[in-house]
Amino acid sequence: AVAATVAVFTNLSVDDQLAVLWYAYTEMGRSITPAATGAARLQLAEGLLNQIKQMSHAEQLQVMRDLAAKRNTQFTRSYGVLSANTKLAFWYELSELMVKGFVVPMPPNYQLSRDGAQVLETLKQLDFGQQITVLRKVVTDMGVDPLAD
């Protein structure tokens, strides 16, 4: 179920990937404790998070789309060197910044594709450990590994 969910997620449009991540966060938010994400991990992502905080909404959206689309930019390469759990912590913190109004909000009327809605449904039915595994895999695949080829 984990591999299948990751596969369907990866085939979603970039916008649907961002939307599903967001909806996953709103569902799981309460179960992910700030302690679990770890201050040390966030420190490594802090430079990127600070850059995002200083961007316009349009630029923030572009950076997130670049990550999901694996476009090669300085930002996506900096993201690429983070560990899997630090990448998760980065996305978690981005969601928190969205909630606090520092990051571009989801459009309230966003329409997920059928595949997007299906991934989300499947994700909800997995247990917490499997959900983390799926999320860790999809955020690990995002960005660009500057050491690859």
Contacts of 21 by beta carbon, 8 Å cutoff, 6+ apart: 91, 135, 138, 139
For position 5 contacting ligand 45D by CB under 6 A, the verdict is: no
Structure tokens at 134: 């799926």
For ligand 45D, the closer of residues 138 and 149 by Cβ is 138
Nearer to ligand 45D, 32 or 144 (CB): 32
Residues in the chain: 149
Q: How far is the CB of 131 from ligand 45D (least distance, A)?
A: 7
Question: Measured from the CB atom, is 29 or 146 closer to ligand 45D?
Answer: 29
Which residues neighbour 130 within 8 Å (Cβ) at sequence distance 6 or greater? 1, 2
Q: Which stretch binds ligand 45D (CB under 6 A): 47-55, 71-79, 85-93, 119-127?
A: 85-93
